[in-house]
Amino acid sequence: MIEMLKDFPDDVAAFAFHGHVTKTDYDTVLIPGFEDKLSRHKRVGIYVEIAPDFANFGPGAVWADSKFGIGHYFDWDRCAIVSDVEWVKQMAKFSELFGFLWPGKYRTYSRAKADEARQWIVAPYAKCDAG
């Protein structure tokens, strides 16, 4: 299941992944939520929490995520990933190392540092709202 998180600036799409994540979750929550924000902003930040109850991605979710990433290649500039799941942290580190392949910046945070992740993801957007 993907849950859209509240209490973020309008130009940050924030989600929590729980249990088993499916293609339907992408189609009904993540993609419409991101595209709604993108309809009002040139670029959108992405904040993702991998909840402690997260189990896995279904094969359709993996494909939906890939299609989403390619389709919105230049529509985001920051992605904060909050997780204590080891393989998620390793994948995010891979993204940080090979960041030249992606247009945005990735940062990974432990669940204990979720507040720090929120501050990092909203920082550039808060400046835009203030100015």
Torsion of CA 90, 91, 95, 97, to 10 degrees: 30
Whether the pLDDT of residue 1 is over 90: the answer is: yes
pLDDT in tens, 42-79: 999 999 999 999 999 899 998 888 888 888 888 888 98
Q: What is the CATH number of domain 2-124?
A: 3.30.750
What residues have CB less than 8 Å from 77, skipping those under 6 apart? 43, 45, 103, 104, 105, 124
Whether the pLDDT of residue 130 is over 50: the answer is: no
Beta bridge partners of 21: 57
pLDDT at residue 94, rounded to an integer: 65
pLDDT at residue 129, rounded to an integer: 46
Residue 82 and residue 109 in contact, taking contact as beta carbons nearer than 8 Å: yes
For the chain, the domains span 2-124
- The pTM assigned to this predicted structure is 0.85
Higher-pLDDT residue of 44 and 105 is 44
